[in-house]
Amino acid sequence: MKKRLTIALVAHDHRKADMVDWCYYNSDFLAKHHLVCTGTTGHLIQQSFLDKGINAEVTCMNSGPLGGDAEIAAMVVRHEIDLAVFLIDDLNPQPHEADIMMLLRQCRVHNVPIACNRYSADLMLTSPLWDNEDYVPTKPRYERFDREKFDELYGKIKS
């Protein structure tokens, strides 16, 4: 890949081991890009890369419950994040649920690819679209439903 990406990596406590293991598995790829993480996730990734002698640029924001998700969401809004991996603990409640929802929502609104499990994350990293200069991601359309307009668009999509 020619472009250096900024990749957001976030993991809840029960998913941190999974995140570090995933980072090791993809370390060749990740070491070429800029990693932006919530505080604890970032420090764990930094340390585990150091332990294996892997050089990577890791920026740590605040810890999630103290605003780390919100800081990364703001970067998404400013188009500073190219893709995100967010390993969420779906089995336990989080005190900062509102911030988690905000990060997920802003990724959807701003068309930032976000993977919430390792399988999706692996598929995302290995997509040939990263190197396809002709590929332009289609932005989400938010418009009031209008039957006539829909039929016109559907006609175009079908043909």
Ligand X SMILES: O=C(CO)COP(=O)(O)O
- Active-site residue set: 69
Residue holding tokens 């029960």? 14
Structure tokens at 123: 């598929």
* Number of residues engaging ligand X in binding (CB under 6 A): 12
- Our finding on whether 65 is near ligand X (CB under 6 A) is yes
| The binder of ligand X chosen from 27, 48, 63, 117 (CB under 6 A) | 63
Give residues 73-112 in contact with ligand X (rule: CB under 6 A): 100
**Residue 73's closest CA among 95, 39, 115, 105?**
105
Select 65 or 109, whichever has its Cβ closest to ligand X.
65
The answer to the question of whether 156 is labelled as a binding residue is no
| Residue 87 C-beta: closest distance to ligand X, Å | 9
Count Cβ neighbours within 10 Å for each residue of 62-98 and write b for 16 or more, e otherwise: ebbeebbbbbbbbbbeeeebbbbbbbbeeeeeeebee
Site for ligand X, rule CB under 6 A:
10, 12, 38-41, 63-65, 68-69, 100
